[in-house]
A and B are shown apart, each in its own frame.
Chain A
Amino acid sequence: MMASLFIVSKDIPQWLAAMAKTRKVFATQRESGAIIFKPYDPGREVVFERESVTSCKEAVFPQTKVLFSYFVKKNPETGETAGVAIEESLNKPAPQAVVFGTRPCGTKGFLTFDRVFDCDRIRDPYYTSLRERTAFITLACDRPGATCFCHWVGGAPDDPKGSDALLTPVEGGFLVEAVTEKGEELVNEARSLFAEADEKRREEGAAVRDKAKGMLTPKPDLTDIGPALEKRFRDLDFWEDMTAACVSCNMCTYLCPTCYCFNITDESDGQAGVRLRTWDACMSQQYSLEASGHNPRPTRAHRMRNRVNHKFWYHPKEYGGVISCCGCGRCVKHCPGSVDIRRILLTALERKDEDAE
């Protein structure tokens, strides 16, 4: 990490403007009363005091991505297909991008994406082209919220993992620490906006972080969560109880920084068409519905079982024990039915020695 720097709050828009000259910048801004990640608009205030409702996954994993477009050429005489011209969107280089003000939990969400989309088995070119060109300037949390549980899953309010630079809120501004070369570059490009942080400020930053960590509630030991969920697999009464309030709105998956399921569909207009990759949701009934009418996950209980198991059992089993939930708490905070994934985990752990019927 480079030496700590300091930037006063009122200079943040100038920093954003400097970065926005050559890059696409995403920042947390207000929209219809909610705080969400949006392309930076200098006319809007960047909001720091509350975590955004949406995660920043849109920056690297857009809700809708055109994979390629095509045009079916017909023989005008016979109407027969003469050819299909396919134009891949990858031919246009992705813009450099900066995600500004994401929290450590949301930034770490991309570490889950990396394990899945950029591994020995497969390298997804649409993902990696955006991922490589995106930098994350993360804001350390000064107070955990009631729904936060990053520390349950290996995170912390000031965890720099996955970030390119880390900001810590202090009196009048932010301490800034570059974590990677990418982060250093973003600071150096606007170096005149930053001052060396003196010892007093550095101590203040450390105190802010320590205070946030001190406010975390005691965490459960999730070492046995996989086997505990395995014990509950056949216990549909348990899953029905846990999902009784679920209204299948899919919000938990759309807001989740680590949910990466997608759909692939075509949209066409006459002979022209596009193939789209769009966010999908495992909590939706159509998601696993087969053409025959058979559905291996026919009820909310089956679907929630798969969602929780995927994050806390299947993914860790496949990727060396790493849980794929980042503990941001969005699924808890914004669920219209108040379904709480922490309750599901704790209840499963409580009953880990109890066999299902």
Chain B
Amino acid sequence: MTGRLARSLILWVLLLLVPFWLPMVGGYTALASRILVYALCAMGLNLLLGFTGMMSFGQAAYFGLGGYGAGLVLVHLSGSSWLAVLAGTVLGGAAAFLLGPVVMRRRGIYFAMITVAVGQIFFFVAERWDSLTGGEDGLTGFSRQPLHFGGYVLPLSDVPFYYFVLFFFALAAGVMALVLRSPLGHSFVAIRENRRRAAFLGIHVERYVWAAFAFAGLIGGLAGALNALQNNFVSPENLYWVESGNFVIIAVLGGMRSFWGPLIGSIIFIGIQDYVSSLFPNNWESLIGVLFIIVVLFFPNGILGIIRRRAGLA
């Protein structure tokens, strides 16, 4: 238990000090923001994937919606970055909540096919509704706005924006951790472990799958909103199904069964993506594809899974 406490302390200290040490090892702060954003989205997905045992392959839809929610607020409504984040989060969560009843009754590969296909609805809406979303060219014409604290104005340049992201990351991670330790979280895990038995104990499995799906969408929306602020741009590609695969591989690569797995996965995946795409601008997607296959064949339990097995804990 103390070991665990020490580890989280180290983790948070490292995260807090990123702008100081990352440049020294050849990284840049914006990369760290991107890693956190993708980690957050994959952690949300992992509520379904790793904790409820439901193979969702459509997380990008809620990520993208969060982006559009945030972008549209900044373009049309208000200059508040806070409000933009809130709008994106709500939009992602609401969409997942509304679609929950469509997906919740199915399991296994069926659930995967349906979640990925249903998410396409939003892709085509975003791509076709030119006047609102900018269509295929994506949504532009906004930029993240400075934060106002009383009379003090903080412009969100790279480093402050990293802390802005870290704030929401910590908030969401805290909420997720609390929920996973609550009876609700225990019920999610019960469904993963033995669906029939959970149902017989009086747990209405479908409603819990719905809840987990909406929760994952909410977190996806938050991550998407932060992503929009980071890029000052939202592309329909953000909610295309191909993007969903990235979140799944991030969760699997880090270790689906562990809470922090997706963070580890994101560090590696986004890190490799950043490095490889600058090195091989034409072939990096193939290399990412190879990474998928390597993970599946050789690291099915993810990095944290391996560490845990080595330590004899699993």
Tell me whether A and B are bound partners: no
Which B residues form the contact surface with A (CB < 8 A)?
Answer: none
- The interface of chain A, by Cβ under 8 A from chain B, is none
